[in-house]
Amino acid sequence: MHITIRLQFAKNVVAFSDIATAIGQAGGDIVGIDVISSSKTHTVRDITVSVLDSKHADVVVDTLRKTTGVKVIHVSDRTFLMHIGGKIEVKSKIPIKTRDDLARVYTPGVARICTAIAEDPTKAYSLTIKRNTVAVISDGTAVLGLGDIGPYAAMPVMEGKAMLFKQLAGVDAFPICLDTKDTEEIVQIVKAIAPAFGGINLEDIAAPRCFEIEERLKQELDIPVFHDDQHGTAVVLLAGLLNALKIVDKKIEDIKVVLTGIGAAGIACTKILLAAGVKNIIGVDRQGAIHRGVQYDNPYWNEYAQLTNPENMTGSLSDVIVGADVFIGVSAPGILKVEDVKKMAKDPIVFAMANPVPEIDPELAEPYVRVMATGRSDYPNQINNVLCFPGIFRGALDCRAIEINEEMKLAAAEAIASVVTDEELSETYIIPSVFNNKVAERVREAVMKAAYKTGVARKDDMMFR
């Protein structure tokens, strides 16, 4: 990573070459220097330094703080700089240049538009932003793998999702973080703001509350409601697994899968795998393998035990991973050990998808696995729901679907997998890149086709009939 250190130094006490030497001795690489101001006695410079990680950054900055004649004014890194003032803004489509423009976009002209919508509320789709908007709703309780960090801290992730919605699929998404963890209140708030939106993307809401919130909203709203961490993740996981299985030449019905983190993502991933034909899947959470014969406080785990773990295995991750063909992690950093990977069947597939730190460091796992994937953008094979949510909502909005159903999700998974051709498929390319512009378009088309086929599309479109 790069950090930029703004420092002031006394010219008669220390020379810049001494500062450069100090940075070099601390292992930092100077990649840029800007002079901010200079007087007879003092100079202020921004020095951009390449460092290994945030601990290393602290070492470099501490060295400078201890250098006589140097005052560190502040330190910023590029990632922080990209977040200053937030990452998105609202823009008008039409400039208001004249009184005439004003009288059309605002009072009095706008009143005729309002009246038309009051007479026929479906006109909201043609005369307001509704046809292109998605609310990205979070309560900040399961933000990436950081846990319950609250609504303010969740905002940067939701802003990031909104950027991706726009860039990858042209969808106008609004980040909305709620300062409540009350299921009923969240349901009522989302229902109340729904008129402005064509779809609702729930994000980073912890299990098990997320299940009830999604179910209630699906029943009570006539626009698609989609919990991204459940279904977006499940769709992309299935796409990646379908392609990875081609490489190891194993059939989906024959594989043994061990999945850690039986929360929002884990339960949805399990369900999509069962629907796709997986027979032997064992879920592991903090207490070990989920199995029959115990009563869990979490009702979803009791149901989970009925659907999974055919041999009713008990024990820890290390116990049940023996002979597994596939490991899927949607849980917590570092919980899969190299020793565990060594116990897996031949040609192991490891999808360590916890963000930002995966269940196993890919560098540690790589010598022992055939196919390795993470949720991150800095390693090959990024299995991340960003491959799904922009295209799936684009499709749902364009055909004005009332919901995003199972057929639409399966169609999206197959569409994502299909972007990687048989010639291109390899251990390090099982899933297309986020920047592959075929992804959102193919997902959109597949999702619309499935929506028309299952009768949930409201917009007439002969092309997809």
Ligand X SMILES: O=C(O)C[C@H](O)C(=O)O
Residues numbered 211-250 forming contacts with ligand X, rule: CB under 6 A: 228-229
Binder to ligand NAD among 151, 261, 348, 432 (CB under 6 A)?
261
296 among known catalytic residues: no
Binder to ligand X among 314, 355, 433, 436 (CB under 6 A)?
355
Rounded (10°) angle between helices 209-220 and 183-193: 30
Containing 220, the helix (H) or strand (E) segment is helix 209-220
The SS3 call for residue 200 is: strand
Cβ distance to ligand NAD smaller for residue 286 or 458:
286
Q: Which two tokens stand for residue 286?
A: 């903090």
Containing 161, the helix (H) or strand (E) segment is helix 150-169
Binder to ligand X among 243, 260, 309, 385 (CB under 6 A)?
385
Q: How far is the CB of 148 from ligand X (least distance, A)?
A: 13
Cβ distance to ligand NAD smaller for residue 172 or 359:
359
Q: Which two tokens stand for residue 96?
A: 């208001």
Residue 384 labeled ligand binder: yes
Residue 204 labeled ligand binder: yes
Q: How far is the CB of 232 from Mg ion (least distance, A)?
A: 8
Q: Does 144 bind ligand X (CB under 6 A)?
A: yes
Which residue among the candidates 11, 97, 152, 161 is catalytic per the annotation? 161
Binding mask 423-452 for ligand X (x = CB under 6 A): ------------------------------
Q: Which whole-number Å values give the CA distances from 242 to 34, 134, 272, 276, 378, in the listed order?
A: 50, 29, 12, 9, 22
Binder to ligand X among 151, 375, 390, 391 (CB under 6 A)?
375
138 Cβ neighbours under 8 A, 6+ residues apart: 151, 154, 157, 158, 175, 176, 177, 178, 202, 203, 204, 205
Cβ distance to ligand X smaller for residue 57 or 205:
205
- CB 194 within 8 Å of CB 222: no
Q: How far is the CB of 84 from ligand X (least distance, A)?
A: 21
Which residue among the candidates 106, 152, 342, 438 is catalytic per the annotation? 106
Q: How far is the CB of 161 from ligand X (least distance, A)?
A: 7
| Rounded Cα gap, residues 226 and 88, in angstroms | 22
Binder to Mg ion among 204, 325, 398, 414 (CB under 5 A)?
204
Residue 229 labeled ligand binder: yes
- CB 388 within 8 Å of CB 394: no
As a whole number of Å, the CA-based R_g of the chain is: 26
By CB under 6 A, the count of residues binding ligand X is 9
**Vertex 328: Cα angle to 286 and 269 (nearest 5):** 90
Residues numbered 186-205 forming contacts with ligand X, rule: CB under 6 A: 204
Cβ distance to ligand X smaller for residue 198 or 358:
358
Cβ distance to ligand NAD smaller for residue 172 or 229:
229
Torsion, CA 212, CA 213, CA 219, CA 225, rounded to 10: -130
By CB under 6 A, the count of residues binding ligand NAD is 28
Binder to ligand X among 48, 309, 381, 384 (CB under 6 A)?
384
**Vertex 416: Cα angle to 413 and 203 (nearest 5):** 65
Residue 119 labeled ligand binder: no
161 among known catalytic residues: yes
Q: Length of the chain in residues, anyone?
A: 465
| Rounded Cα gap, residues 436 and 420, in angstroms | 10
299 Cβ neighbours under 8 A, 6+ residues apart: 208
Binding mask 221-260 for Mg ion (x = CB under 5 A): --------x-------------------------------
Cβ distance to Mg ion smaller for residue 204 or 285:
204
Q: Which two tokens stand for residue 385?
A: 């729901």
Which of ligand X, ligand NAD, Mg ion, none is residue 235 near (CB under 5 to 8 Å by kind)?
A: none
Cβ distance to Mg ion smaller for residue 204 or 427:
204
- Give yes or no for a cis peptide into 108 (omega within 30° of 0): yes
CA atoms within 13 A on the CB side of 22: 19
Q: Does 139 bind ligand X (CB under 6 A)?
A: no
Residues that bind ligand X (CB under 6 A): 144, 157, 204, 228-229, 355, 375, 384-385
Residues that bind Mg ion (CB under 5 A): 204, 229
Residues that bind ligand NAD (CB under 6 A): 142, 144-145, 206-207, 229, 233, 260-266, 284-286, 330-332, 335, 353-355, 375, 383-385
Catalytic (active-site) positions: 106, 161
